Amino acid sequence: MHNLVIDIGNSFAKLALFYGSSIVKTYSFRELGPQQIEEFLEGEKISHSILSTVRSEVEAIEAYLSYISTYLRFSINLKLPVKVHYKTPSTLGLDRLAAVIGASCVFKNTNCLVIDSGTCITYDFVDKDRNYYGGSISPGINMRYRAMHSFTGKLPLVEFKPAFNEKNGFDTQSSMMSGVQNGVIYEAIGFIEAISREYTDLTIALCGGDFNFFDTQLKNSIFAQNIRTVPDLVLIGLNEVIKLRND
């Protein structure tokens, strides 16, 4: 039997079907309800399911998952494979927590910095003993572009172009691109450098919608050999919670 993992974020709902620790398939929906879940499963029977969500109105989804499986709502109050030392655990983003859990299981006995680049960019560190104290949250790439356009009188709304690779802009648009896209990479390198001073055996795990951009840019840095891309790290973490519950 399979496990169904669902992560409802700010922009998309991501679904994954697991067999043990292996991902069978994944899919993303802008809007999610029982019909979309049924279409995704294609008649496949599941034994357990878990839902992580930033939205409050998910009653229909929860009712459906409870009907077709042993259902679990992801929260900080569950038995977890990491030791959470966050001072306000009730405010901790579930996607951050799930990514840290995923990293601690994929990279066992390893100090790991998770860089999750989506609507926001989060930097979360979990040590080799699975201690998680917290991390940092900063605006994502598209959020930065929208902010410059919204909070100024003349700056245009610029589209994110991952292939842009100039250190300095030559007009207003390219200057904005240089500031945003170089800025997030310099920011990431700064966090990596700071943690590497204390933990020399550091693995950097990249996930989130813009992980390819970070992977390409950071591969040109001195940390290239420490970088691993795990796009489905959040989903992997949620599946680990199901497995722990069943052990």
Question: Mind telling me the catalytic residues?
Answer: 95
Rounded CA separation 99/77 (Å): 16
Residue 5, C-beta contacts closer than 8 angstroms, at least 6 positions apart: 15, 16, 17, 18, 49, 50, 235, 238, 239, 242
Cross-sheet strand order for the sheet of 46-53: 22-29, 13-19, 2-8, 46-53, 70-73
Identify the burial level of 205 via C-beta atoms within 10 angstroms of its C-beta, where 0-12 means exposed, 13-18 middle and 19 or more buried.
Answer: buried
- φ and ψ at residue 115, rounded to 5 degrees: -110, 110
